[in-house]
Amino acid sequence: MIVTAFADALDDLFADPNMAVTVSYQDRPVRALVRRPDRDIEFSDITVQTSTALFEILRREIPAPQAGDIIVHDGDSFVIQGEPRLDAERLVWTITVRPA
């Protein structure tokens, strides 16, 4: 089954210490892929570049993340903002955060 093969590949990805890290989600350790891309925000005719943080976490690790929940990574606390999104296979959450 394709979904099972894909889920197995995700397990390998999240277990790889070169790709994923352990973060604390609501005081519980979970594995996550962390991205910190810069984002351009436009106000009228001014563009401001700001850093953001995104966490990708397996759905089975956290079945229902909520806005306001806390994720701690490398000693920095982040608050989930907005609605977490599931990927097309509904296996991985993409979570946007802001500093706590």
What's the pTM value of the predicted model, to 2 decimals?
A: 0.81
Distance CA 64, CA 44 (A): 36
Distance CA 36, CA 52 (A): 5
DSSP class of residue 60?
T
| Alpha-carbon torsion angle 77, 41, 31, 26, nearest 10 | 40
Residue range 15-73, pLDDT digits in tens: 999 999 999 999 999 999 998 766 666 777 776 666 678 999 999 999 999 999 999 99
Q: How many CB atoms lie within 10 A of CB 71?
A: 24
